[in-house]
Amino acid sequence: MKKKTTVLFTLLLSMILVIAGCGNSGSSNTDKKANEPQTKNEEKKEDSVAGASQASYTPIDQLKDNYDIIIVGAGGAGMSAALEAKEKGLNPVIFEKMPVAGGNTTKSSSGMNASQTKFQKEQGIEDKNDLFYEETLAGGHNTNDKEMLRFFVDNSASAIDWLDSIGIKLNNITITGGMKEKRTHRPEDGSAVGKYLVTGLVKNVQEKSIPLFVNADVKEITQADGKVNGVKVVIDQKDEKTITAKAVVVTTGGFGSNADLIAKVRPDLKGLVTTNQVGSTGDGITMIEKLGGVTVDMDQIQVHPTVQQDKSYLIGEAVRGEGAIMVSNEGKRFVNELNTRDKVTAAINTLPEKAATLVFDSGVKSRVKAIEQYDKMGFVVKGDTIEDLAKAINVPADQLKATMDTWNKAVKDKKDSEFDRTTGMDNDLSGAPYYAIKIAPGIHYTMGGIKINTNTEVLNKEGKAIAGLFAAGEVTGGLHGENRIGGNSVAEIIIFGRQAGIKSAEYVQAK
């Protein structure tokens, strides 16, 4: 009876959280304007409250006036920073403007890239940091910050080890676009990485007694005598409080949901759907600029090729990595599906319909657990035969059959003579039933942001660190250059989130 009561209580809490989260509008007026189209999107509301229990958050009556380190944003980078700062013996606090922790991390699907990991070695995958570096540099069109990139790849394996050490195991490895080796690490069951990662990080934050306040909207980072010394934060859209600290770490994410800012820096993208959670409005960038921080690559915005348009929902690259192909309205392949995201997007945009369909079989469905979620949301079309599927998605059956036969032969021969695809060809598409998801490009990631160094110190226009101010994750820019490789964003938030926690702690302890 006690167990049943606990289960019922947990379910009741979850229902209350969803209702509360859906009614939240914890953003500025500018944010509301940017997010108005998304309030009609029930899935975005669901995502904004997924990933953690309200019981994990610190009651507002426990808020103190002073902490060693203030972390702004409770996504993967922020929580990683908090855990490392706590490990150093300091007293960090996390402020999150949304009603739950997670941010865009919750929406991450495919996995976390890392090279020379223990899990790769266990599975006989021969990878090198230098290859990871070279492929990421090529993916970014050789415009990446090379010092940041070198630190990133060389610390990727230790980030996987660190996650494993705190109970977050990413040992199911697949491949995404722009790679030659399997290095995209996923949860053991092949499920989407985001919710698993957020749940694990929140659990660790709670176990370490790190205060995490939600509905805590930081409006300003304060400074005195040239040193950052705290923040002004609005709690529950009511009271503004000034909280002091010896250092501030900004991990507020990008600006993919700020329609006005996107239209300003990239007017050609105006009107595209966005996969970003509603809180990704660039607040951290604005606050840091007021302190003299500078930005880089603000016009470099990644459009992801495979977005379900009705609900602006990302269809993860792992679907293609495990063997799916894409076809046009004519039922024909038209691109190497695992080329870099910018090239696949460009290929889709050359089609008259500027959209395409992902086609896969029961084998892909079994290997990519995220497809179960896509199916629940009504995205997945099923056909018992290829002809049935063709009818369901309104493409010529004879042409789709020919496309599938040609592809399966390419997989067997390990040679794609049509588009030179060389990865994601471990299994053919011959396992009935067959499935399809309609997709088109959507705004996914903002490569630009605040300029930092490898110590995650925020830099001013002279290239000098702003004392006491650190940043990590999508709020920063430079690492990815003009195009991000799929799976690198999750790696970035963990690698640089940890670094921000370590370096901000060292700064505080040196004072």
Q: pLDDT per residue over 448-500, tens digit each?
A: 999 999 999 999 999 999 999 999 999 999 999 999 999 999 999 999 999 99
Average pLDDT, whole number, for the chain?
90
Percent over 90 (pLDDT), the chain: 87
Percent over 70 (pLDDT), the chain: 89
Q: What's the rounded mean pLDDT across residues 229-247?
A: 96
Phi, psi of 218 (to 5 degrees): -75, 125
The predicted structure's pLDDT at residue 28: 34
The residue type at 433: P
**pTM of the predicted model as reported, rounded to 2 decimal places:** 0.84
The predicted structure's pLDDT at residue 470: 99
The residue type at 293: G
For residue 40, name the pLDDT band (cuts at 50, 70, 90): very low
DSSP state of 107: G
Whether omega for the bond prior to residue 92 falls within 30 degrees of 0, making it cis, is no
Q: Hey, which residues are catalytic here? A: 341
Q: What's the rounded mean pLDDT across residues 264-281?
A: 94
Coil vs helix vs strand at 332: coil
For residue 109, name the pLDDT band (cuts at 50, 70, 90): confident
The predicted structure's pLDDT at residue 151: 98
Residue 400, CA atoms < 13 Å, CB-side half-sphere: 30
Estimate to the nearest angstrom the gap between the alpha carbon of 89 and the chain centroid: 29
Give the integer Cα–Cα distance in Å for 101 and 198. Answer: 8
Q: What's the rounded mean pLDDT across residues 310-331?
A: 96
The predicted structure's pLDDT at residue 110: 87
Residue 279, CA atoms < 13 Å, CB-side half-sphere: 36
The predicted structure's pLDDT at residue 133: 98
The predicted structure's pLDDT at residue 25: 31
Exposed / middle / buried, residue 207 (Cβ in 10 Å: 0-12, 13-18, 19+): exposed
Task: Give 190's contacts (C-beta < 8 A, 6+ positions apart).
Answer: 172, 174, 318, 367, 368, 369
The predicted structure's pLDDT at residue 237: 92
* In the predicted structure, residue 239 carries a pLDDT above the cut 50: yes
Q: Residue 305: name the closest of 321, 289, 316, 294 by CA.
A: 316
Give the integer Cα–Cα distance in Å for 51 and 492. Answer: 20
Q: What's the rounded mean pLDDT across residues 76-87?
A: 98
* In the predicted structure, residue 42 carries a pLDDT above the cut 70: no
The predicted structure's pLDDT at residue 405: 98
* In the predicted structure, residue 217 carries a pLDDT above the cut 50: yes
Task: Give 147's contacts (C-beta < 8 A, 6+ positions apart).
Answer: 453, 454
Q: What's the rounded mean pLDDT across residues 339-367?
A: 97
Q: What's the rounded mean pLDDT across residues 4-15?
A: 41
Percent of the chain that is helix, strand, coil (3-state, to 5) = 40, 20, 40
* In the predicted structure, residue 23 carries a pLDDT above the cut 60: no
270 or 407: which leads in pLDDT: 407
Q: What's the rounded mean pLDDT across residues 319-334?
A: 97
Q: What's the rounded mean pLDDT across residues 8-18?
A: 40
The predicted structure's pLDDT at residue 205: 98
Residue that has been written with the tokens 């969803």 in this structure: 18
Please report the DSSP string for 72-95 in residue order: E--SHHHHHHHHHHHHTT--EEEE
The predicted structure's pLDDT at residue 17: 39
Exposed / middle / buried, residue 220 (Cβ in 10 Å: 0-12, 13-18, 19+): middle
User: What would the pLDDT profile of 384-412 be if each residue is shown by its tens digit?
Assistant: 999 999 999 999 999 999 999 999 999 99
Q: What's the rounded mean pLDDT across residues 299-315?
A: 96
